[in-house]
Structure 1
Amino acid sequence: MKVAVAGGTGLVGRYVVEELTAGGHEPVVLARARGVDLLTGAGLDAALAGAEAVVDVSNLQTTGAGRSIAFFEKAGRNLSGSCARAGVRHHVLLSIVGIERVPFGYYQGKLRQEEVLAQDGEVPWTVLRATQFHEFAQQVLERFPGPLAVVPRMRTQPVAAREVARHLVGLVLGPPQGMAPELAGPQVEEMTDMVRRLLKAQGRRRLLLPVKLPGATGRAMAGGGNLPTGPGPRGTRTFDAWLAGNGVHDPVEGG
């Protein structure tokens, strides 16, 4: 099966491409580095020619609501339109657990992306919401270079990015489900503790400053707004197992 992967050069996207290839399928990467621009639509129709399905794991580096909404709405409309013209039978989107409960700027764009797919798209679809990846702890550190690292107070149930990719491939090869059961990791973690253990595994010393984000966003993050609320698939690789398996060297992208 020919499956297009939007964001196929990113962390999860690369794993999706690997899983598809290992299964004997034909992945096609949709990325600017491959001549495809989701925002302008350039190259989309040509890249999707003959594709039976699409996995969208595209991402944007921002925390602002305005930029996030603008990107995901525009990119989502372009991708949905091109999928319809190409006769794609199944469009799978990766989203985030808790985005309707945590009023974080980036999450507002992901919500709009889901809405565009569900309301405006002509192709049968599946949305998989997953929790933060194990790599998220490294992303937090990289946002604050220097001796002091500001770490948001946040409860999460992190999952291995490779397990997310494997689950996405299973979904795209099956029938459309609409909103699929949420995917999370095997255990709940505190972000400050995750960052501390990451630094120890890397042999680095940083002063950590745990901070509760202001307003409703901070209350929701600290109170478990990013945790799954119902039953669903659970990954098996813990954060500590990821660290022990040299996960500290994995590439990082997105939020």
Structure 2
Amino acid sequence: MKVVVIGGTGLIGSKVVEKLDARGHDARPAAPQTGCNTITNEGVAEALAGAEVLIDVSNSPSFADDDVMSFFVTSTTNLVAAARAAGVRHYVALSIVGAERLPDSGYLRAKVAQEKLIADSGIPYTIVRATQFFEFSAAIAGSSVVDGEVRLSTAYYQPMASDDVATAVGRAAVGEPVNGIVETGGPEKVRMADFIGAALARTGDERKVVADPDAAYFGTRLADDSLVPGPDAVLGTTSHEEWLAGAGR
């Protein structure tokens, strides 16, 4: 089966390509580096020619509200048109658990807009909503600095290894389209401030971490379970300790 992975040279995409290739599929990365630019539309039709499955794990280079909305709307609109023309039979996109519950976040609003464009496209689809990656902990901390302190929400979340995210995306791609959303998350439900505070301490980061129920998470306040997947989520198996002991260190 020919599978085209938009964002296939990035953290998740490269893992998805590797996993699908190992299962005997013809998985091809598509990204600006390979001549496929979903914003300008350059090379998109050529990349999707003959594809049975389209996987989109791309991400905006800017998280500014207007920029990220423009990226996902423009990119997805171009991909939908090209996928229709190519006769793609399954459109798989990676999104975020809780996106629809947090409209005050410009980034999450943009992900919801992306999901709607795919759902309305008429192409059979699966949206894979994942929780935050272990690899994303430093970025969350960096976005949460106020007056030199890292102010983090006390809400729960279930971070997971990027390898487990890629497994979930690959599993969706080789399965039948669900024409809806599936969720995946990490094996442990933890408080964000506790988890990231401990993660920073393990790397020798001496910044003060403040647990604050009102701390903003990319522009929005979190309720206790805003980022927690539902009971039907398929959970990854890699714990943070296992991730630290392996290649994720």
Work out the CA distance in 2 between the residues paired with 1:131 and 1:185.
7
Work out the CA distance in 2 between the residues paired with 1:143 and 1:246.
25
Q: TM-score, normalised by structure 1?
A: 0.88
Work out the CA distance in 1 between the residues paired with 2:211 and 2:24.
46
User: Which residue identity does 1:53 align to in structure 2?
Assistant: V
Structure 1 position 174 matched with structure 2 position 169: no
Q: Which residue of 1 aligns with 2:45?
A: 45
Relative to structure 2, which stretch is displaced further, 107-116 or 2-11?
A: 2-11
Q: Is contact 1:198–1:243 with CA below 8 Å preserved after alignment? A: no
Work out the CA distance in 1 between the residues paired with 2:166 and 2:82.
23
Q: Which residue of 2 aligns with 1:11?
A: 11
Q: Deviations over 1:146-166 (max 9, x none)?
A: x94524304211121111111
C-alpha RMSD of matched pairs (Å): 2.3
Q: Which residue of 1 aligns with 2:134?
A: 134
Q: Deviations over 1:6-39 (max 9, x none)?
A: 1111111111011011112122111111111111
Q: Is contact 1:126–1:177 with CA below 8 Å preserved after alignment? A: yes
Q: Is contact 1:102–1:226 with CA below 8 Å preserved after alignment? A: no
Q: Is contact 2:144–2:152 with CA below 8 Å preserved after alignment? A: no
Q: Is contact 1:98–1:228 with CA below 8 Å preserved after alignment? A: yes
User: Which residue identity does 2:190 align to in structure 1?
Assistant: E
Query: SS at 1:150's partner residue?
Result: strand
Q: Is contact 1:62–1:106 with CA below 8 Å preserved after alignment? A: no
Name the one with the larger strand percent: 2
Q: Deviations over 1:166-186 (max 9, x none)?
A: 111111111110123311111
Q: Which residue of 2 aligns with 1:251?
A: none
User: Which residue identity does 2:198 align to in structure 1?
Assistant: R
Displacement of 1:141: 3.7
Q: Which residue of 1 aligns with 2:33?
A: 33
Q: Which residue of 2 aligns with 1:233?
A: 234
Displacement of 1:239: 2.0
Q: Which residue of 1 aligns with 2:215?
A: 213
Percent same amino acid among aligned pairs?
A: 37
Relative to structure 2, which stretch is displaced further, 236-245 or 16-25?
A: 236-245
User: Which residue identity does 2:215 align to in structure 1?
Assistant: L
Q: Which residue of 2 aligns with 1:111?
A: 112
Q: Which residue of 2 aligns with 1:164?
A: 165
Displacement of 1:244: 2.7
Work out the CA distance in 2 between the residues paired with 1:100 and 1:33.
32
Displacement of 1:143: 4.3
Q: Which residue of 1 aligns with 2:95?
A: 95
Give 5+ residue unaligned stretches, structure 2.
none
User: Which residue identity does 1:64 align to in structure 2?
Assistant: A
